[in-house]
Amino acid sequence: MSELISLTKDGEVAVITVNNPPVNALSPGVPEGIASAIEAVSKDEDVKAVVLIGSGSTFIAGADIKEFGKVTGGEKKGGSLLPLLLAIEDCPKPTIAAIHGTAFGGGLEVAMAFHYRVAAASAQVGQPEVKLGIIPGAAGTQRLPRLAGVEKAVEMCAFGEPVKAKAAFECGIVDRIVEGDLLAGAVAFAREIIASGVTPQKSRERNDKLGDEQTNAPIFAAARDQARKTRRGQTAPVAAIDAVEAATKLSFNEGCKRESELFQQCLFGDQSKALIHVFFGEREVAKIPDVPKGTPTIGINKAAVVGAGTMGGGITMNYANAGIPVLLKETSQEFLDRGLATIRKNYSNSVKKGRFSQEVMDHRMALITPTLTYDGFEEADIVTEAVFEGMDLKKQVFGELDKVCKPGAIIASNTSTLNIDEIASVTSRPEFVIGHHYFSPANVMRLLEIVRGKATSKEVIATSMALSKKLKKVGVLVGNCRGFVGNRMLAPYGREAQFLVEEGAAPQDVDGALYKFGLAMGPIAMGDLAGLDVGWRIRKEYKHLEDPTVRHPLVADRLCEMGRFGQKTGAGWYRYDENRKPIPDPEVDKLIEQASAEAGIERRQIGEQEIVERTMYALVNEGAKILEEGYALRAVDIDIIYINGYGFPAWRGGPMWFADTVGVKNVYDRISEFHAQHGKVWEPAPLLKTLAEQDRTFADFDKGKITATA
């Protein structure tokens, strides 16, 4: 019929195939093509039933997300899929959607407009729209409760998690699981329906699973409560719940109207724009201009980790979780046992919470081989070093690894600050040395900063990027500067948080404002969690390099001098009770007031807006410098780093996207004011100035619309 849609016949069963790689999205032409194929077969007397299937690796994975930006940007008019789906559903002959891969979003909505759904055992269905800041827009919130019941529909529409074929069958979304060839199974199912002579029921006409006010009210209340807690600040999950609730209170047509209103509100809101930016950003970061797709990679079949501390243990779990056998080396039996005990405890907790079975845990533990020697390292394809942070020790370990590792093995360092080139310099193979900067807890946090040294080979970079995917991480390539991207930006951010405290805000005011902004945790509480002593030691070591003409925060050092290192000592900026709840401490207030007096600062009331601007714009200004210096490839790479490694709210799109939404010029003007008030630490990044002058955004920078700087 068209390149996107083909129509064939298998006897009396018509087969419509969607062919829109890579994911058969509902791009312009696809829904229309399906509808006209349905219209054609409706008139064809030889056809008694219809099967819809996707070509390639998946059924329809949803609406074409690229189209949303065109609609909100005013480039084209948005249209609803719903009229086409209603026409499809009205087909007088039985229609069957055959699902493999993923039937997501609009894909599931299409499938639910078909009379029956059969699925391959490995298939998944879902309404993940909320992850893009929107809700289902083509009756998903109205049909799903009719097929799967209200509770399942609320869960799927409000939280967006996929449902596997078996569970979809159990709750009524799918009518049959097909083992073996899906198309053959779907055609056989179609023949059974023809033979049975039953008139298929349209899902929009089913009301038997919609429950009543009494049974539904607690379901909606619980979902709203969960959304408040787990999707803090986000509008789409609440809108999705409202839309499903409408299904239980209004007719199908009226419910669809309500869904459409809520969909439009979400689509044109800032959150969906930000989350769509993040969706494409997570895929964009995999694209490295000089390391194209198809660059040869090294097979990673065996791994080794050096150091079984906080990070080494988590990194070891990442390999075991991915099914890669891993050696774990320590310096003493005691440390090795301690490291393994932590790994075991983490896995046991997951088993207790029902995340996976004891059998899975046993299998993962069996993949980990503890050792006190380098025996077996000669077989590893990759070694990740996670020993204490110190150049001399890192050099010693890399020298040893260079001797024991086979030629062609990757040697990665998890250093958070040290120079990768200097570490690589002690080896005979700097092209195989790279930074793999995981974030604590390494088995949980999704970010992996991949640090490119000056000699690191393209093959090693391509392998690292592919490995990050295998380990279920988001790998972002960064350059080799102090703190790389994430931690380098954290320095001015933390500095401003402390300055605000010295100028008059209480620690809980600063944390509170940023928590309200959407961060998982404020910067002061984060310092207490990470341990204040780490920064204190570094500051003492590098005291001689400090610029005496700029202001430095005073309180953190004082807290450390008092032995208040944060949560680990039960007290830092806050006191902690046995549940690790932070409690503001009058002793700290006194200390802060003293520090303010010593620095000659007159304390004042500081509002939430200033707290957000001072801290967020400090991130943005440093991010702009990093971008200009080339240590991040794109602004969106910085956004993805902050969202996945630092608890930045995805619905704000990351710090650089946030600056775009505020307006780069506004950010620049405010930074210029801070510069005048607070001195050279606030010198605006030249790139920021250029963007502001040319009325451009960081997104424009990424699109190559601007390259020159002031």
Active-site residue list: 109, 129
Q: Which does 138 bind (CB under 5 to 8 A by kind): ligand 3HC, ligand NAI, none?
A: ligand 3HC
Of the candidates 670, 631, 327, 310, the one whose C-alpha atom is nearest the C-alpha of residue 487 is 631
Does residue number 388 form part of the binding site for ligand NAI (CB under 6 A)? Answer: yes
CA distance 321 to 595: 48
Residue 109 binding target from ligand NAI, ligand 3HC, none, CB below 5 to 8 Å by type: ligand 3HC
- Residues making contact with ligand 3HC (CB under 6 A): 22-23, 25, 61-66, 81, 102, 104-106, 109, 128-129, 132, 136-138, 140, 280, 283
Q: How far apart are alpha carbons 385 and 305 in whole angstroms?
A: 6
Q: Which does 63 bind (CB under 5 to 8 A by kind): ligand NAI, ligand 3HC, none?
A: ligand 3HC
CB of 699 to ligand 3HC, least distance (A): 16
Whichever of 103 and 451 has its CB closer to ligand NAI, that residue is 451
User: Minimal distance in Å, beta carbon 293 to ligand 3HC?
Assistant: 9
Polymer length in residues for the chain = 710
Instruction: Choose one: 282-290, 309-317, 573-581, 663-671; the region binding ligand NAI (CB under 6 A).
Output: 309-317
Cβ proximity to ligand NAI: between 335 and 356 the closer is: 335
Nearest-approach distance from CB 311 to ligand NAI, in angstroms:
3
Closest CA to 622 of 419, 486, 501: 486
The residue sitting closest to ligand NAI, measured at its beta carbon, is 309
Interaction partner, residue 653 (ligand 3HC, ligand NAI, none; CB < 5-8 Å by kind): none
Residue 283 interacting partner from ligand 3HC, ligand NAI, none (CB closer than 5 to 8 Å by kind): ligand 3HC
Distance, CA of 304 to CA of 397 (rounded, Å): 13
Residue 315 token pair: 């990194």
Burial 46-83 (b: 16+ CB within 10 A, else e): ebbbbbbbbeeebbbbbbbbebbeeeeeeeeeeeebbe
Shortest distance (Å) from residue 279 CB to ligand 3HC: 7
Of 329 and 634, CB closest to ligand NAI = 329
Q: How far apart are CA 243 and CA 139, in angstroms?
A: 9
Q: Is 117 exposed, middle or buried (0-12, 13-18, 19+ CB in 10 A)?
A: buried
Is residue 450 within 8 Å of residue 486, measured between CB atoms? no
Please give the backbone phi and psi of residue 190, each rounded to the nearest 5 degrees, phi first. Answer: -60, -40
* CB 532, min distance to ligand 3HC, A: 40
- Helices (runs of H) and strands (runs of E) counted in the chain: 30, 19
CA-to-CA distance for 310 and 327, rounded, in angstroms? 16
**CA–CA distances in Å: residue 456 to residues 382, 408, 425:** 14, 12, 11
Q: Which does 414 bind (CB under 5 to 8 A by kind): ligand NAI, ligand 3HC, none?
A: ligand NAI
- Pair 504, 603: CB distance under 8 Å: yes
Distance from C-alpha of 185 to C-alpha of 181, rounded to nearest angstrom: 6
Can residue 346 be called a binding residue for ligand NAI (CB under 6 A)? Answer: no
- Nearest approach in angstroms of CB 225 to ligand NAI is 32
Q: Which of 24, 234, 235, 415 binds ligand NAI (CB under 6 A)?
A: 415
* Site stretch for ligand NAI (CB under 6 A), options 117-125, 196-204, 323-331, 669-677: 323-331
Residue 380 touching ligand NAI (CB under 6 A): no
Q: Which amino acid is at 697?
A: T
Residue 644 sits in the site that holds ligand NAI (CB under 6 A): no
Rounded distance between C-alpha atoms, residue 316 and residue 309, angstroms: 10
As given in the structure block, the two tokens for residue 227 are 């959304």
Phi, psi of 17 (to 5 degrees): -120, 130
In the complex, minimum distance from the CB of residue 137 to ligand 3HC, in angstroms, rounded to a whole number? 4
- Could you give the string, one character per residue 429-458, with x where binding to ligand NAI holds by CB under 6 A and - elsewhere? ---------xxx------------------
Q: Is 329 in the site for ligand NAI (CB under 6 A)?
A: yes
Residue 387 interaction partner, one of ligand 3HC, ligand NAI, none, beta carbon < 5-8 Å per kind: ligand NAI
Residue 383 binds to ligand NAI (criterion: CB under 6 A): no
Q: What minimum distance in Å lies between the beta carbon of 309 and ligand NAI?
A: 2
Choose between 132 and 193: whose C-beta lies nearer to ligand 3HC: 132
Nearer to ligand NAI, 79 or 390 (CB): 390
Report the candidate in 100, 104, 83 with the shortest Cα–Cα distance to residue 34: 83
- The smaller minimum CB distance to ligand 3HC, of residues 22 and 704, is found at 22
Site string for ligand NAI, 289-308 (x = CB under 6 A): -----------------xxx
- Exactly one of 414, 463, 480, 567 binds ligand NAI (CB under 6 A); which one? 414
Helices within 471-522 (DSSP H only): 486-503, 507-517
CB of 336 to ligand NAI, least distance (A): 9
Q: What does 106 bind: ligand 3HC, ligand NAI, none (CB cut-off 5 to 8 Å by kind)?
A: ligand 3HC
Nearer to ligand NAI by Cβ, of 5 and 424: the residue is 424
**Alpha helix locations (H) across 504-585?**
507-517, 523-530, 532-541, 555-561
End-to-end CA gap in the chain: 54
> In terms of CB distance, is 104 or 698 closer to ligand 3HC?
104
Report residue 94 CA to chain centroid gap: 40
Burial of 421 (0-12, 13-18, 19+ CB in 10 A): middle
Distance CA 489, CA 102 (A): 38
Q: Residue 162 and residue 102: Cα distance in Å, rounded? A: 9
Using CB under 6 A, count the residues that bind ligand NAI. 23
Shortest gap between Cβ of 163 and ligand 3HC (angstroms)?
Answer: 13
Residues 659 and 665: their CA atoms lie apart, in Å, by 9
Contact 147, 172 (CB under 8 A): yes
Q: What is the largest CA-CA distance in the chain?
A: 92
Partner interacting with residue 62 (select from ligand NAI, ligand 3HC, none; CB below 5-8 Å by kind): ligand 3HC
Q: Choose between 235 and 415: whose C-beta lies nearer to ligand NAI.
A: 415
Cβ closest to ligand 3HC, residue 25 vs residue 98: 25
* Binding residue for ligand NAI, selected from 310, 321, 371, 419, defined by CB under 6 A: 310
Residue among 99 and 433 whose Cβ is closer to ligand 3HC = 99
Instruction: Return all residues near 625 (Cβ < 8 A) that are at least 6 apart.
Output: 685, 687
CA angle 548, 552, 558 (to 5 degrees): 120
CA angle 374, 378, 382 (to 5 degrees): 95
* Residue 158 φ/ψ region, left for φ over 0, alpha for ψ in the -120 to 50 degree band, beta for the rest: alpha
Question: Residues 511-540 vs ligand NAI: string with x where CB under 6 A?
Answer: ------------------------------
Least Å distance, CB 418 to ligand NAI, is 7
Quick check: 334 and 485 in contact, CB under 8 A? Answer: no
444 binds, among ligand 3HC, ligand NAI, none (CB under 5 to 8 A by kind): none
Bridge partner residues of 535 (DSSP): none
Please tell me whether residue 125 binds ligand NAI under the rule CB under 6 A: no
Shortest spacing between CB 390 and ligand NAI, in angstroms: 8
Nearest CB to ligand NAI, comparing residues 114 and 438: 438
Give the span between the Cα atoms of 182 and 112, in whole angstroms. Answer: 18
Residues of the shown chain interacting with ligand NAI in the complex, contacts defined by CB under 6 A = 306-312, 329-331, 335, 386-389, 393, 397, 414-416, 438-440
